[in-house]
Amino acid sequence: MGSLKQIKLAGFKSIKSMELELSSMNVLIGVNGAGKSNLVSFFKMLNEMMGERLQQHIATAGRAQSILHFGPKVTPQLEASLEFEVDNGADTYQMRLFHAAGDTLVFAEEQLSFVGTEWDGPPKTLNLGSGHQETRIKSEAEKDEPTAKVLRHLLNSCRVFHFHDTSSTARARQYCYVGDNRWLMPDAGNLAAILYELKNKQKSAAYRRIVTTVRRIAPFFDDFDLEPSGTNSKDIILNWKQKDSNQIFGPHQLSDGTLRAISLVTLLLQPVEHLPNVIIVDEPELGLHPAAKTIIAGLFKKASHHCQVIVATQSAALLDAFDPEDIIVVERDTRESSFKRLDDTTLTEWLDEYSVGQLWEKNVLGGGPF
């Protein structure tokens, strides 16, 4: 329905001020603490805000003190603007959150706007007021306000996925409700339900592609064995089969890396119509061997033909799979993060002898490990 053309962000964690143009593929590269994950965490906060859980998120994230750039004494407010390019123009969401009593944040300003492709005048603007603790986009959209309806969809379609938790209590290793199959949860908590839907209800080629790709990453893997169980057959768990064996294995018998790989493959190879507008993933390389990283990078590139992708990484092996123009170098001085997209024209001679990952390791690109 639309793509995220530009994001402006000020006063958020290590990001004092940033203006970033986004393309279909965006790979954030930088050392630990540079600020990559802080940009990802802004989108996570946006996800919670759209679910009307902003105050809960602020409380669990360490309160406003941990969110505002160097705390409220230095930075009393956070500002953000997200511009989406749509078929007939551009929709923009702007917000300003101000530090309030209880070390929380409230809306000092919330505004929606739309400008048509052929318009000569100012954009159509809708001010949602100030002083509220949760976004008012949903309430305006439910009144059939057109700009609010469009932006509610666009903002809800910027989804962060985080598959780091692969512990024994991780939701991906537990039973889930078999009917929870509309879209993949951020932590893959409904992974079994999604795969069951693809295999048995849609009979889609997507399921076959997922199984084939998982086999490339984990050669011992044969197929999933997905059958509802429990009262009224409403529960399902991620059972699977190994090659040359009739034994059924459970999710607790998958290694951490294999479970992460299955989650990533399912996310990126689901039917195109199920993909979010913007997929945001932090450190997808965790637990993957080098060959698997190359496969996953290829899936990100393929998905970027159908939606936007934002990936934060510090893996040279993953970086090698992308073009220089896909890469955004994240650096941090003592106080703030900076974001700069690579210009491949300045790297022509270097790329004759070195890969992009090698150039990052040599600190030629900036944001390097040394």
Output the tens digit of pLDDT for each of the chain's 370 residues.
689 999 999 999 999 999 999 999 999 998 888 899 999 999 999 999 999 999 999 999 999 999 999 999 999 999 999 999 999 899 999 999 999 999 999 999 999 999 998 888 888 999 999 999 999 999 999 999 999 999 999 999 999 999 999 999 999 999 999 999 999 999 999 999 999 999 987 667 999 999 999 999 999 999 999 999 977 889 999 999 999 899 999 999 999 999 999 999 999 999 999 999 999 999 999 999 989 999 999 999 999 999 999 999 988 889 999 999 999 999 988 789 999 998 878 888 888 888 888 888 888 887 766 5
72 domain residue, yes or no: yes
Distance CA 268, CA 275 (A): 8
43 domain residue, yes or no: yes
Q: What angle do CA 44, 318, 330 make, to 5 degrees?
A: 55
Residue 196, SS3? helix
Of 29, 45, 84, which Cα lies nearest the Cα of 282?
Answer: 29
331 domain residue, yes or no: yes
299 domain residue, yes or no: no
Distance CA 304, CA 295 (A): 14
> What pLDDT is attached to residue 339?
95
The residue type found at 16 is: K
- Return all residues near 60 (Cβ < 8 A) that are at least 6 apart: none
Do β-strands 104-116 and 124-127 pair in parallel, antiparallel, or remain unpaired? antiparallel
- Cβ atoms of 223 and 212 within 8 Å: the answer is no
Distance CA 37, CA 52 (A): 22
Distance CA 340, CA 29 (A): 10
59 domain residue, yes or no: yes
Q: In this structure, what CATH number is given to the domain that contains residue 329?
A: 3.40.50.300
Give the number of domains in the chain. 1
102 domain residue, yes or no: yes
DSSP annotation string for 119-175: --SPPEEEE--SS-SS-SHHHHHTTT-HHHHHHHHHHHTEEEE-----STT-GGGS-
> What pLDDT is attached to residue 202?
60
Q: Which residue has the tokens 């393929």?
A: 302
Distance CA 132, CA 89 (A): 29
User: How much is the pTM?
Assistant: 0.94
136 domain residue, yes or no: yes
13 domain residue, yes or no: yes
The residue type found at 3 is: S
- Cβ atoms of 320 and 27 within 8 Å: the answer is no
| Cα–Cα separations (whole angstroms), residue 109 to 50, 112, 285, 319 | 16, 10, 38, 39
Tell me which residue range forms the domain holding 336.
1-157+323-370
- Write b or e for each residue in 258-268: b if 16 or more Cβ atoms lie within 10 A of its Cβ, otherwise e: bbbbbbbbbbb
Quick: pLDDT tens for 232-265: 889 999 999 999 899 999 999 999 999 999 999 9
- Cβ atoms of 26 and 304 within 8 Å: the answer is no
